[in-house]
Amino acid sequence: MSIYDFSANTIRGKETSLEYYKGQVLLIVNTASKCGFAHQYGELQKLYEQYKDQGFTILGFPSNQFGGQELETNEEVNVFCQINYGVSFPLFEKIEVKGADKHPLFAYLTREAGFEGFDTENSSGRLLHTMLSEQDPAALANDEIKWNFTKFLIDRQGNVVKRFESSVEPLEMESAIAGLL
């Protein structure tokens, strides 16, 4: 099994098989427009522009599961991303990324790359760890997505290579991405 066995609806509602991206290095990200990590859209766009001609694509999957931080409609999400960050990488419809109703793609991703903890040397990682420890300590003991902007790096064969938590800034992943191109 690989990510090519899944499909999802684009932000415009067109069902797309992830097989369309076969042979590319992918970064799959769950996003939220009103999140404190939304600034990462800017760095994601920079990475996309820098490496897209070498076979790199970012796939953004908006979700409203963490603090209700996503806009109401897919169109609002699309407009927000374009106006504020110039996002030109593919965006998909809002989906569930954790829990019983999570999209099958995210069930697969979290099985393949489990939660290894937050880097508590990083202030954002420390903040997320503290928040979850206080509000939902059981969440730290499973592989579910913990917050917006969790990122999964996929190689050209569709294999999950690495999971990066929300607190990891996109440019910090540049060498890992470049190493797969």
pLDDT value of residue 139: 86
Q: What does the pLDDT read at residue 9?
A: 97
16 touches 26 (CB < 8 A): no
Q: Which two tokens stand for residue 172?
A: 């910090």
Distance (Å, whole) CA 62 – CA 11:
9
- Distance CA(130)–CA(58), nearest Å, equals 29
pLDDT of res. 67: 87
Of the candidates 65, 63, 66, 60, which has an alpha carbon nearest to the alpha carbon of residue 81? 60
Per-block mean pLDDT, blocks of 10 residues, the chain (181 long):
95 96 98 94 97 98 93 94 96 96 97 93 90 88 94 97 96 97 96
Question: Has 35 been annotated as catalytic?
Answer: yes
Catalogue all structural domains in the chain, each as residue range(s) with its CATH number: 3-180 (3.40.30.10)
- Locus of tokens 């419809």: 93
Task: Find the catalytic residue in 35, 44, 154, 173.
Answer: 35
- What's the pLDDT at 166? 94
What is the signed CA dihedral for 36, 37, 43, 45, rounded to 10 degrees?
-90
- Rounded to two decimals, what is the model's pTM? 0.95
- Residue 50: per-residue pLDDT: 97
